Structure formats: C-alpha cells, structure tokens
Structure 1
Amino acid sequence: MSLAVLAVLAAAFGLTSCTQNNVTEDDMPERFFQENNLRGTFAMFNNGTGVFTVYNLKRYRDSTYLPASTFKIINSLIGLQTGKISSDSMVIPWDGVERSVAAWNQDLNMYQAFRASAVPYYQEVARRIGKDTMQFWLDSLKYGAGTDKKNYKITKIDTFWLDNSLKITPDQNLGVVKQLYFDELPFFKVYQQKVKHAMLFEDNANYKLAYKTGWAQTEQNHALGWIVGWIEENKHPYFFVLNVESDDPNYDMKEVRLKMLKDILKAYGFFEGRM
C-alpha cells in the first residue's frame, strides 16, 4: 500500500477522543495527586459505555505537553511500517557510550528497547526513518496538531519528541492507545500487534495491563510524567492516561507514575477480575 493511500486512510483517524457529551468529571483521583505532591490529570475511557471519566478536564483536553517516551509507540509503528525496523527482534548495536540507565548500555532489539524505554535506540530509529518520512506520518496522523489544529513541523529528527517542540494533549495520547488496541491506526495489523505485545507488562487470570511511560522536563524546567495504555478485565478494555507534573525538575517520576496509576485503578475497582 502506498504512502499516498495510507495518508487518505489516516485522515479518517483523529487521535482526539473526548467530546462534551460523553464526559463524567470525577475528583476522586485528586487525593493521589496530593499524596505525591503532583498536579495533573487522569482520564479513563470505558469502551463498553463510551463514557470518559476525567479528573481535571481542562488539562486533559485543552493543554499540550511533550510526549516524551510515549512517542515510542508512534516511532515503533512508523519504523516497522517503513521497514526501518525489520521486526521487533531487530538489534541496533550499542554505541559504546555509557549512560545513566544501565539497561541501555548494551545491544538491544525493538522489544527490549521499548520496554526499557531506551532513548538511544529510538533516536537511531528516527534518524533511519528520516525527517521527510517522519513528517509525512505525523501529518497523516495529525499527531502533534495540538489544540490549534495546526500540523507540527519537525525540528531536529532525533530529539523533537523530547525538546518541547512537539506537544500533544492527554486526550490525543489516550486516543493513540485506544485506536492501537483495536488495530485502527493506519499501519499494518501485524505491526500494531507487535507494539501491543511490547506494551503488555502484566497478564494474569484477573486482568491484563498494558502501558507506555514517559518522563521529561517541560519548557518551565518542571518534571513531567506520563503513563498511557489500557487495562482489560473479562475481555473488556478500559483506556487510560495519567499526566503528572512537579515544579521540582529533579522529581523522580520512575516509580510514582505506575504506583499512582495502580492506586487510582484500584480505587475504581480494578485488579479483582470483576469489572
């Protein structure tokens, strides 16, 4: 299938999910933000009822933030679709540069790099995809169009998702994983399935939990954290996005994102296999 044909298909897929008519605002998650000295938003989409439950609706729908490593979802799909990632077992050799994350200091394949959120691997993937092709896909997906609906133009090919030039709303980030789950993004189904496989971190008799994290700094030098994905119970998916921010640039988001997510989901009744 040609890029031109895929562009037409992609035009039908807006990543924005939320409308005025299907939103229930809920302050229940606020206590988890307060406990961790963070501000932000949480939203969950019940696929069975079509209802969004949202804490801090304005931030969820109207504010934009750099996607950080949640962009690895899109980067992986474009890499696979264009053949720059031949399979999720394709290895990119370590460049020998010692980095602070030990898991990055080795040869990695796509599956490993995705789960370790290895920035160097995906920077190399972006360089191999190239600016023009990457721009084509961002335009087709309307990824990064933001609240003003204007298409984003790539600045530097291997940092644009990290340097605050590209921004998305939490609503758009949730829209990505919702369409990915149903193989509705304009990429071959087998590639969407490979990314979903990499996102699946917990799979047991009661539930499946799949997600991608992100962690970076905003233009204001604030720490920003993401976790976006879905929880499935009794073969019924619920899609979520958690977006958190601290004025402290050194705030460690690594553990708190997942803990907050699980605390919020537990408060809504998940993890018991009864949803």
Structure 2
Amino acid sequence: MLVSLLVLTLLISVLFLVRKGMQLVRLPAKWLDRFWYLLFVVLMLPFLPLQAVSYFDGETGGAERLPPVPGEAQRTEATSNLISDLSVSVTRLDLGWLESGLFGVWLGGMVIFSFVVLWSLSELRAMVAKAGAVKNARLRKEYHACVEELGLKKQPLLLESDSIVSPVTCGIIRPYLLVPKGLDDRFSTEEIRYMFLHELKHHQLHHPRMNAAALLFQIVYWFHPLVWLARKKMVIDRELACDAAVIETIGLSNRKAYGMTLLQFVEKRQAHSSLQLGVGGTKKQIETRLNSLIHYRENAKIDAIKGWIIFLLVGMVIFMQAPLLALGTSAEERKVFEGSNANYEELASFFAEHDGSFVLYSAKEDQYFIHNRAGSEQRYSPNSTFKIYSALIGLEEGIVQPDTVLAWDGTASDYPEWNKPHSLNSAMQHSVNWYFEKIEADMSLNKMQTYVSELHYGNESIEGATPFWLESSLTISPVEQVDLLHQLYTNKLPFQADSVAAVKDALLLEQTEETALYGKTGTGVVNEQAVNGWFVGFVETVDDTLFFATHLAGDEEATGQSASEITRAILADKGILTGGLGVNE
C-alpha cells in the first residue's frame, strides 16, 4: 500500500505540473476543468481490482473437499515419508498493531468527514424543502428564456429562499436552482440573465456530479494534503470554465457587464456549503475570475488539438502506472500470465479452507491448466524450492559434486536430520538449509545475482536478509515456477547437462513402471507461524512430461506438506499418477 500511496502522490504532483503548463500555454478554461477528470481516475485506481477482473472464476473458495479417489490416501501417506518438509522460522518485527492502528485512524477520519458532509446535505435538503416556487413573472420568464437558449433537456427546478444571499445550484438526480428572495428588486433583467446562465452552465458542464465525486474522494483521502489542494484548484477551474461558457453565450462585448455582476457577489468567506455551486466567491476567487475575463480570448481549433494531446498523453502515463496503484500491488509482486494456451479450472474442493493456486503444464499438449489465476500470477517467497537452483549453481561453479559430502559444522538444529554430513541427494531430501547456505556463502553476491538474473527468477531480487530465498527479498509466482522447471528439464537454462541430471536425480520422489514423480517442497514460517507453502515439480509419464506448482498462503497449515498432499490429490484425480491426463470438464 505504501508503493500505491507514493505513486499516487507522484501522479497528483504531475497533474499539478501539467495544469500549470496548460495555464502557461493559455489553454481555454474548459480544458483545465476537464483535466480534473484525470485526477478522479488516479484516485479511483487503488480501489479497482484490475489484476483480478477476469479472475473471479479461479478464486479459491471454502467448498468441501471432494471425496478422495481410490488409493489416494495410501499414495499421500507414501509421499509424506519421502518428502521432509523442514523449515526454520524467520523472525520479523510484527507491525500488525501499527497497520491496524493506522487503518483505524483512516477509518475514523472517513467517519468524521462523512458526518460533516451528511450534516451539510441534511441542511441543504431542509433549505430546499423550505424554499418556495418563484412567483415573480419577470424571473420566471428570464429563467425559461435562458433554459431555452442553452437547450437544456432537464431544467433545474427554480425556487427562492431566504437562507441564501446569491443564486446557487445543487442536486444530482433532481437539480435545483435557488435564488434569494427579492432578487428581482435588486438586479436588472440583464444581470439576472447572467446569473441564470452561470448557474445553468454549471449543470450543462456536469459540475454538480464533479463536485460530488470530489467530495467523495476528499472523504476517502482526507489525510492527503495534495487531494485537498487539488479540490481547491478544481473549484476555481470550475468557475473559470463556467464564466468562459457564459461569455461564449452572451458574446465578448458583454464581458465587462458580466464582470460587474460578479463583483456584486464578493464574499468575505464562502457563504454557501460545498454541496452548492454559486455565482459568487471569495475576494481572491473573484479577482482570479475577473483577470481571466480581461484576458479572455475565443477558442481556436489549435486549442482543441493541444488540449486532446495533453489529455491523452497524461492519460497514457496514468494507464502505465495502473499496475502500481491497483490494490497496492507493485509490478514486481506479480507476473501477468500472457499465454493464450490456458484452461482455467475450478479446483477449490481440493484446497478446502486453504487460499491457494495450482498450475499444471503439459509439454506434449503445450497447454496450461490453472486454478486461481490471480494467485498463480502473484509472487511469493520461494523458500526451499529455490534449493533446486542453488544446487544447480553449486554444481556449475564446482562448489559441490553429486557425490560430495559436506561436513556439518556442529551447529545444532531442531531437526536431527540436519545435524550430520550431507550429500546433494540427502540435503535435497531433508531440505537441509545449512548445505545450500554454504554453497551460496562460497560465492560472491554479484556472482549469485548474475545467475538469478540469467534465470529470470521471479523478481530477481537477492538484496534482502540472508538467505534471500527464505521469506526475504526474492519472490516468484507459481506460473514462473512451472516455466522455469520446463526450461530446466529441456536444458534451456545456462547449466550443463550433467548438473541438470544430478539435480533431477535428487528431486526424484517416487517411480513406477508408468510414472516418475519429481518435486520439492518449501515452507515459509514467520514468527513461528506458517504463511507460505509450496510444492513444485514434474511428472514423467509414458508419452508426456507435466510440470506443476501448488502454492498455499494465509493460514497456519500453509505448508509444503499440505501443498504436496493437495497436489497428489489433483494429479490422482486427473489420472496423471497412472500415466494419463484426464482433464475435468
């Protein structure tokens, strides 16, 4: 969310700079007014699930698990004996209380500002309810003439009230134009016409809707000073656009008379609520508007061209930053799957209460089978699944050989399996952290970064806490796990065939006459709580090789062991463990 907030702040700052540039090149006021629609887009993006619009069918639900296929329990038990899903807990400063506190403050602020707006709305509704129909024939005649002149299909209801000092307009679904009582006694017909045109132009330019949207965003972003400043700028641009639209209607020769009318409504402070749009304004606002009238020039075709070019260019910049704003997800935390050869499946029954995803790729069919598209594209720490590539790098660098036994340094672990010397096969089977950490310690960080970059491994970041693959900086998505395994199997990665063969042997879990199952689990434990479970690998059948990645997140049983059991159930259901691929319709 911090990334989204920073990007949002940067984009709002860019909008301010572009607006200033538009003023310098003297673009018409209507383009400054329209420009604020882009601000609404920016403020809305963090709340749009852009990454998941087409993913709803793949979300993991809480449905009951399907009954196991015959023999599944036996196979799962056998696999549990082969896979040692061992992991150590990573200690992190728990800032959950701070996040909860900040969320509470934000929510409290929204409640307070919502109350203020609702209070103003209730006062406005009470004022409208007390207002009466305009009886003066001159006012009614001039009003209807203005409505007809502007060609308004839905005219605001004209009312008069003793609660206001200048004409105001309000209402979105049912628009109103309120005038103070005695207006006809104080102003000439020409001045009244100018007032009506100004207020009706507000409706014609959709300003009440823009104002309501601005208020809504100000409630949501009450903590952000740039949003408050933007709304202040928006108010003056709205009035400038309205004034310019009136001049287009009454003619340039009447701008002095129109300006004199505005001068009669100078307010020491804003006399009406933020829900009303009035003719007048503060002294500073009126000065700005009069200065704009003095320098007013008629619109030219080149102005429209410049306006559209600026509008489209800024819109493109916002569009390109959308992934950084949507749901607070940075580009590095997600790898969008762009392949068209995918069949999206609903396998929630296999995951039970787990939040998880599953990706399967058939090399023979060149086809993906994916459950939970959003989850399959989300990047997570690889944890012990990175040991596949750590082993490859160690073999490639000559740090270890397939039959090399590395001595245990005597540092006691909670797992007895770790407290002894290990070869590559035994270290992979028991997921021995110290074995792979030793490989990485014998290399420079730059050398390791080169390998990770050549592999295009996830976000390619190894600058976090050591080991970088254990709930640290390095992250990868399930789809990327599958693609890397496929490249590894087909020798498309920068490793020698002997190194690949040695690691493949170390990953072998079970072999029958029909299939061979290879895999590696990974479990992320933070503050003694499992948060991240993986099982990745591939299955060789008589006529195909299928690559898979299962990921679990968000609950205390999000472990590699649970992921392996779910994977076994899915593979068995598809008939893959007996040599076939029966895809559920």
* Shorter-chain TM-score range: 0.7 to 0.9
Q: 2:561 aligns with which of 251, 255, 258?
A: 255
Query: Quick check: 1:44–1:54 contact (8 Å CA) kept in 2?
Result: yes
Is the contact between residue 90 and residue 110 of structure 1 (CA under 8 Å) also seen in structure 2?
Answer: yes
1:272 Cα offset (Å): 2.2
Question: Match for 1:186 among 489, 494, 503?
Answer: 494
Determine which of 215, 227, 232 is the counterpart of 2:523.
215
Are 1:30 and 2:344 counterparts?
no
Aligned partner of residue 425 in structure 2, secondary structure: helix
Aligned to 2:54: none
Unaligned runs of 5+ in 2: 1-334
Q: Which amino acid aligns with 2:453?
A: D
Alignment of 1:194-213 (within 5 A): 194-213=502-521
Report deviation, 1:49. 1.3
Please point out which of 383, 400, 412 is paired with 1:68.
383
CA–CA distance in 2 between the matches of 1:166 and 1:99?
24
* Counterpart residue number, 1:236: 544
**Larger Rg over CA atoms:** 2
Name which of 9, 30, 45 aligns with 2:361.
45
Aligned equivalents of 1:18, 1:218: Cα separation in 2: 28
Aligned to 2:477: 169
CA distance in 2, matches of 1:163, 1:66: 5
The letter for the 2-side match of 1:52 is: Y
Deviations 1:234-273 (A, max 9, x none): 141011100012333xx37253222211101111112223
Query: How far 1:89 sits from its partner (Å)?
Result: 1.4
Q: Is the 8 A contact 1:64 1:168 kept in 2?
A: yes
Instruction: Please state whether the residue corresponding to 2:539 is helix, strand or coil.
Output: strand
User: Would the aligned equivalents of 1:183 and 1:193 in 2 still touch at CA under 8 Å?
Assistant: no
State the Cα deviation string for residues 89-145 of structure 1 (Å, max 9, x = none): 112111212212221110111121011110111111110122111011112222132
Partner of 1:78: 393
Pairs aligned (count): 247
Residue 127 of structure 1: which of 422, 441, 447 is its match?
441
Provide, for residues 70-91 of structure 1, a one-character-per-residue CA deviation record: whole Å limited to 9, x for no partner.
Answer: 0001101111111112x11112
**Alpha carbons of 1:74 and 1:94: their partners in 2 closer, same or farther (altered >3 Å)?**
same
Deviation (angstroms), 1:153: 4.3
Letter in 1 for 2:367: V
| 8 Å contact kept, 2:417–2:430 | yes
Residue number among 455, 458, 461 corresponding to 1:152 in the alignment:
461
Counterpart Cα distance in 1 of 2:417 and 2:435: 11
Counterpart for residue 412 of structure 2: 98
Aligned to 1:245: 553
Amino acid at match of 1:241: A
Aligned 8 A contact 1:164 1:218 in 2? no
3-state SS in 2 of match to 1:129: coil
Q: Is 1:143 matched up with 2:479?
A: no
Residues 153 and 164 of structure 1: is their aligned pair in 2 closer, same or farther, counting only changes over 3 Å?
closer
**TM-score normalised by structure 2 residue count:** 0.40
Q: Residues 217 and 224 of structure 1 are in contact (CA less than 8 Å); yes or no, is this contact kept in structure 2? A: yes
Q: 1:57 and 1:137 mapped to 2: Cα distance? A: 28
Identify unmatched segments of 5+ residues in structure 1. Answer: 1-15, 146-150
The residue identity in structure 2 corresponding to 1:168 is I
**Residues 189 and 18 of structure 1, relative CA distance in 2, 3 Å threshold:** farther
**1:4 corresponding residue in structure 2:** none
Tell me, what secondary structure is at the counterpart of 1:21?
coil
**Corresponding residue for residue 270 of structure 2:** none
Asked whether the equivalents of residues 41 and 56 of structure 1 are also in contact (C-alpha less than 8 Å), the reply is yes
Instruction: Summarize deviations over 1:7-58 as a string: whole Å, max 9, x none.
Output: xxxxxxxxx895331111000x211111xx2111001011111110100011
Higher relative contact order (CA 8 A, sep 6+): 1
- CA distance in structure 2 between the partners assigned to 1:222 and 1:96 by the alignment: 27
Q: Is the 8 A contact 2:523 2:530 kept in 1?
A: no
Identity %: 27
Q: Distance in 1 between matches of 2:458 and 2:365?
A: 28
Structure with higher strand content: 1
Q: Contact 1:66/1:218 (CA < 8 Å) preserved in 2?
A: no
Q: Is the 8 A contact 1:17 1:174 kept in 2?
A: no
Contact kept? 2:530, 2:559, Cα under 8 Å? no
Letter in 1 for 2:348: E
Contact in 1 for aligned 2:537/2:547 (Cα 8 Å): yes
Q: Is the helix fraction higher in 1 or 2?
A: 2
Name the CA distance, whole Å, in 1 between partners of 2:558 and 2:366.
Answer: 34
Equivalent residues of 2:534, 2:564 under 8 A apart: no
**Rounded Cα–Cα distance in structure 1 between residues aligned with 2:569 and 2:461:** 35
